[in-house]
Amino acid sequence: MESKILERLDAMQQAIDKTKQAIDKTQTFALLAAKTMLSIADVAALTGMSKAHIYRLTCTRVIPYYKPNGKQIFFKRQDVETWMQQNRVDSVADAEAIAARYCVTGSAHNPARQ
């Protein structure tokens, strides 16, 4: 009887811990949504990449960033979101639409993708 109670208490504690983690994650994303300038940690949370990878991207100048005091690195949210949206890969439906347009018009040009 006592072991069953302890097992249930342990299960309840694990559920509480998971709920706390979910709340913390939600709070982090809520705070990120309000920011226009982001730190390395913010960009890592926003993109799901590690901080080390974000640093690597800045060192190779792959991602745009700001260094106002010559030390700390900041990113504009809009710049990060634009960077994340580059190199779009067409879906199968998009490719089929392009192929159909090419068959009809002789041009694969899609004015909507500019």
d(CA 68, CA 70): 6
Task: Establish if 3 belongs to a structural domain.
Answer: yes
51 and 16 together in one domain: no
Q: Residue 44 — very low, low, confident or very high, per pLDDT cuts 50/70/90?
A: very high
Question: How deeply is 75 buried, as exposed, middle or buried, from its count of CB atoms within 10 A (0-12, 13-18, 19+)?
Answer: buried
Q: Which residue has the higher pLDDT, 18 or 110?
A: 18
User: Taking 80 as the threshold, does the pLDDT of residue 66 lie above it?
Assistant: yes
CATH number for the domain harbouring residue 65: 1.10.10
Check residue 76 and report its DSSP letter.
E
Answer yes or no: is pLDDT of 40 > 90.
yes
* Domain membership flag for residue 28: yes
Place of tokens 């639409």: 97
Q: Would you say 102 and 108 are in contact if contact means Cβ atoms under 8 Å apart?
A: yes
pLDDT value of residue 1: 78
Range of the domain at 17: 1-34
**Residue at 114 is within a domain:** no
| Helix H or strand E encompassing 21 | helix 2-34
Q: Looking at the predicted structure, is the pLDDT value of residue 29 above 80?
A: no
| Residues 42, 27 share a domain | no
- Whole-number pLDDT of residue 78: 94
Residue 4 lies in a domain: yes
Pair 49, 83 in one domain: yes
Average pLDDT of the chain? Answer: 87
Same domain, 26 and 56: no
Considering the domain boundaries, does residue 24 fall inside one? yes
